[in-house]
Amino acid sequence: MSMAKIALITGASAGIGHAAAELLLKSGYTVYSGARRVEKMRDLEPLGAKVLSLDVTVEASLKSAAETIIKNEGRLDILVNNAGFGAHGAVEDVPIQEARRQFEVNLFGLARLTQLVLPHMRAAGGGTIINISSIAGKISMPAGGWYHASKYALEAYSDALRLEVAQFGIKVVLIEPGPIRTEWDNTALVNLKKYSGSGVYAPLVRRLTEKFRAGYRKGAPGPEVVAEVILKALGSARPAARYPVPFKASIVIFLKWLLPDRVLDWVIRRVLGV
């Protein structure tokens, strides 16, 4: 069996998950990369990645991934729960079925996979679970309510989990990215237009889309900066409970803490023109 740390990364076909897989591989970790789009992970194989077809909303897929790793390696040291998407649109417009799917991917699939690996981590005497949250789990914007709700829920879930499993030597870490350049943006904009591009919220959607394309993420770093924070957390004997990244994310979280709701609402509406 490998002496290198064994990691499973979900949503590794693009963005943060792909960057994290690449960095961990280059840093000597044994990495299992999981995603639905297997072909998007083939470039990781020359680096040593073991690619898995993984859909976090399908029980059989989750079980197969966990069982494959335990069978091959005998243990799993690190789980990076990264898979996620944004069901953007006004909360009135987004179908409840789609809202449920938002939670299935961003919370329940993550939680089920965590349930499957925890007994193995406990038997090994430790492990690390890294949940990729967002500053969207700290502050809400219009036309993103369901996504925000899923990330707020992930924050609460992770805090409870951290307290429960510390006694077994298992660490739970939240990573809270702010604006990062990934293809996640395109998915969010497509969903925004799909659900609220017409009707009473259409003017809001147009303004949000214009703001976004005018440079909301101008100068935003790529997913590599998040991967570096993941590696930093894994290298720490006592990692922090949460890591906002980049520095701008820390400022936003501080403003949320500092400003009364009424003032913060005014600032957001002023900035977004709503």
Question: Looking at the domain assignment, is residue 124 inside a domain?
Answer: yes
> What DSSP line would sit under 173-193, residue for residue?
EEEEE-S--STHHHHHHHHHH
Residue-level pLDDT, tens digit, the chain, 274 residues: 458 999 999 999 999 999 999 999 999 999 999 999 999 999 999 999 999 999 999 999 999 999 999 999 999 999 999 999 888 999 999 999 999 999 999 999 999 999 999 999 999 999 999 999 999 999 999 999 999 999 999 999 999 999 999 999 999 999 999 988 776 667 778 889 999 999 999 999 998 888 777 655 566 789 999 999 999 999 999 999 999 998 888 988 998 999 999 999 998 888 887 7
Burial environment of residue 103 by CB neighbours within 10 A (0 to 12, 13 to 18, 19 or more): middle
- This prediction has a pTM of 0.94
Q: What is the CATH number of the domain that holds 229?
A: 3.40.50.720
Residue 268: its H or E element: helix 261-272
Instruction: Determine the pLDDT at residue 201.
Output: 95
pLDDT digits over 71-82, tens only? Answer: 999 999 999 999
Residue 123: give the domain boundaries. 6-272
Question: What is the number of structural domains in the chain?
Answer: 1
Q: Is 147 a catalytic residue?
A: yes
Exposure string of 116-146, with b = 16+ CB inside 10 Å and e = fewer, is: bbbebbeebeebbbbbbbbbbbbbbebbbbb
Question: Looking at the domain assignment, is residue 1 inside a domain?
Answer: no
The amino acid that residue 149 corresponds to is A
The DSSP symbol for 56 reads: T
Catalytic residue chosen out of the listed positions 32, 147, 157, 243? 147
